[in-house]
Amino acid sequence: MAQVRVRFAPSPTGPLHIGGVRTALYNYLFAKKNNGIFILRIEDTDQGRFVEGAEEYIMESLEWCGIKVDEGINEGGKFGPYRQSDRKELYRQYADDLIHKGDAYYAFDTPAQLDAMRAEEEKAGKTFIYNASNRMGLCNSLSSSGSDWKERIEKGEPYVIRYKMPLGEDIHFDDVIRGHIVVNSNTLDDKVLFKSDGMPTYHLANIVDDHLMEITHVIRGEEWLPSLPLHFLLYRSFGWQAPLFAHLPLLLKPDGKGKLSKRDGDKMGFPVFPLFWPYGETSKGYREEGYYPDAFVNMLALLGWNPGTEQEIFTMYELINSFTIERVHKSGSRFDPEKAKWFNHQYLQKRSVNEVAIEYREFLRARGFHIDIKPLERLVELVKERVSFVKDIWSETDFFFVAPQSYDPEVVKKRWKEDSPALLRELRSLLEQTDDFSPSSTEVLVKSWIEEKGYNMGAVMNAFRLAVVGASRGPHMFDIISWIGKQETLDRIDKGIALIGK
């Protein structure tokens, strides 16, 4: 069998949506599983929609995800160029070929005329369609008498080239995921293949490029399923062997109806893009939100596919090994932001204390704290299992760096009693006597004192926590005071007694 070659073919019209990333991922997994080639082709045949920076964004996103491109605009390859605008000259001859074969024709109807006809049909509750049912009444080379149309072209009148959809034919085709599908050609229209601006449309460019690049499997979004009959017909008209097609299910909104959109992310506070998109409206990215790329990829891979086992955590290598296109689902998947977080939690737990400490050091540096790696490792060890993201370490450990500025009123009400100041004063003088602030040492010291005096453990420790932390949260007290040190501990007790009062 010929070598497997697949392509991811986005349009550079803005940042890549996570649905697009998943399409790229499935293409990549399929390629690598089959020792094949993964191609990145930029489909920029609509010059009006080109967005500066989008190409770079796409490539950076794939790179961040660990999806390596074998052939593409940066990587090169034998089948280049890999940007359709750079292949512009190539398409016209294929459109002409179709005209010679009688499967395509020139059409002169202006956009304004077509719009008017569409509007009229819509008013009558119908859908305008341009095909065998009415093409002889429209303005094109099939309906014009004699050589009128030739003159029009020679005069430089704008025209498009349309595919001549057959009349009343049942078109049979197959999709790897969805099986056999039949559509009657009467419901399809004479799609424009070549635009008046000299550029091909998606349909032509796509088929020509997939053929020329020897693509064996077309794995793309479900939104393309309705144009699959056209594409099959195109392959037939050219006399080319069609690749295998697989149409992926959509990513749906977490709640409500419809497919996942940028608005959902904004509304519910999760990113719909892999990376921050710096142009236009601000849009968060998974990378900037603190997701690990392997967690992100793992989460995405399982949205619409699973290997049939109960395994949920996969390295890219494992994904490649277990991926099969047949196990991709038919129906759309709702995106679940909670589960996305859970994946990151799993990945963060798998990392070593040292790795996380290094990441956290970077985080602190950006906020003006320059801390050695050793104390940070001790800190990370204390809170690692409680967090899902490195940035969460800060909200769990802010009080390690800064004494409380205020004391949670709820906790004060619940934990600060009449005798709290007296207990803390006693505790303070007890701690002042020792210089050994290791957790085990202070623990023994304090606990035996509490026992000796017959105090209530909770009464002492909760008040102590309130003074040191300012709230009812955080790791064990002896770990905290060991980290902040003796002087800071004593200071915070003083401050707490003074500020909380009574």
Partner RNA sequence: GGUCCAUUCGUCUAGUGGUUAGGACGUCAGGUUUUCAUCCUGUUAACAGGGGUUCGAUUCCCCUAUGGACUACCA
Nearer to RNA, 124 or 136 (CB): 124
- For the CB of residue 114, give the shortest distance to RNA in the complex, in Å: 5
The residue type of 479 is D
Bridging pattern class, strands 5-8 and 104-107: unpaired
Nearer to RNA, 282 or 470 (CB): 470
193, 202 in Cβ contact below 8 A? no
* DSSP alpha helix (H) spans, 239-389: 262-268, 293-301, 316-322, 337-350, 353-365, 373-383
- For the CB of residue 5, give the shortest distance to RNA in the complex, in Å: 18
Q: What are the angstrom distances between the C-alpha of 335 and each of 23, 200, 259, 279?
A: 15, 35, 9, 25
- For the CB of residue 95, give the shortest distance to RNA in the complex, in Å: 12
Nearer to RNA, 181 or 320 (CB): 181
CA dihedral 327, 328, 333, 335 (to 10 degrees): 100
Nearer to RNA, 127 or 315 (CB): 127
20, 39 in Cβ contact below 8 A? no
- For the CB of residue 200, give the shortest distance to RNA in the complex, in Å: 7
Give buried/exposed letters for 151-168 (b at 16+ CB in 10 A, else e). Answer: ebeeeeeebbbbbbbbee
90, 211 in Cβ contact below 8 A? no
Residue 334: half-sphere exposure toward Cβ, Cα within 13 Å = 10
92, 133 in Cβ contact below 8 A? no
Structure tokens at 173: 């085709």
- For the CB of residue 164, give the shortest distance to RNA in the complex, in Å: 15
Structure tokens at 485: 């040190």
Question: Could you list the active site residues?
Answer: 262
- For the CB of residue 368, give the shortest distance to RNA in the complex, in Å: 25
The residue type of 225 is L
Between the two ends of the chain, the Cα-to-Cα distance in Å is 84
Helix (H) or strand (E) holding 98: helix 88-100
How buried is 3 (Cβ within 10 angstroms: 0-12 exposed, 13-18 middle, 19+ buried)?
Answer: exposed
Q: How far apart are CA 249 and CA 259, in angstroms?
A: 10
Using omega within 30 degrees of 0 as the cis cutoff, is the peptide bond preceding 158 cis?
A: no
- For the CB of residue 180, give the shortest distance to RNA in the complex, in Å: 8
- For the CB of residue 96, give the shortest distance to RNA in the complex, in Å: 17
Q: How far apart are CA 484 and CA 321, in angstroms?
A: 48
Nearer to RNA, 49 or 502 (CB): 49
Q: What is the DSSP string of 131-188?
A: STTTGGGSSBTTTS-TTHHHHHHHTT---EEEE-PPSS-EEEEEETTTEEEEEEGGGS
Nearer to RNA, 64 or 464 (CB): 464
Nearer to RNA, 68 or 339 (CB): 339
Q: How far apart are CA 401 and CA 397, in angstroms?
A: 7
Nearer to RNA, 303 or 431 (CB): 303
